[in-house]
Amino acid sequence: MSARTKARKRALDILFQSDVRGEALSTTLAAEAKRAVNEPAREASWLYARDIVDGIIDNREAIDEQITTFAKDWSLARMPAVDRALLRIGVWEIVYNDEVPTGVAIDEAVELAKEFSTDESGSFIHGVLARIARGS
């Protein structure tokens, strides 16, 4: 598993924890940062995970607007927490990170959905991110 794949999983964990606990994303990120100090072997994945989460914090409103616009008949509140987190990560990578090819961002989000969410989540996330990629 690549460092970026590990970082996406780590970012997913942070976003999911924040959502489920009803805690500010910045609070969850700060707690994870304290833990990361004691894990130098995982530094490469931590740095990109932090970039993802910081990018989502900085652009949350615009990211959520993209998701709401392109997730036909689905509100953010109606989506499973894992799907919301994966869509936010995917949108950030597609729209705000030029270093990640769009296809890679979509594929990574779909693979994580297959591993951590419902049977239908992979195709749902693929559809939403593909529409966002075409529209952005």
Domains present along the chain, CATH in parentheses:
3-135 (1.10.940.10)
SS3 99: coil
The pLDDT tens digits for 92-136 are: 999 999 999 999 999 999 999 999 999 999 999 999 999 999 986
Where in 44-131 does DSSP place strands (E)? none
Cα 20 from Cα 15, distance rounded (Å): 9
Cα 68 from Cα 79, distance rounded (Å): 11
pLDDT value, residue 101: 96
Cα 33 from Cα 62, distance rounded (Å): 25
pLDDT value, residue 38: 82
Query: The pTM is what?
Result: 0.94
pLDDT value, residue 3: 85
The pLDDT tens digits for 40-89 are: 777 778 899 999 999 999 999 999 999 999 998 899 999 999 999 999 99
SS3 119: coil
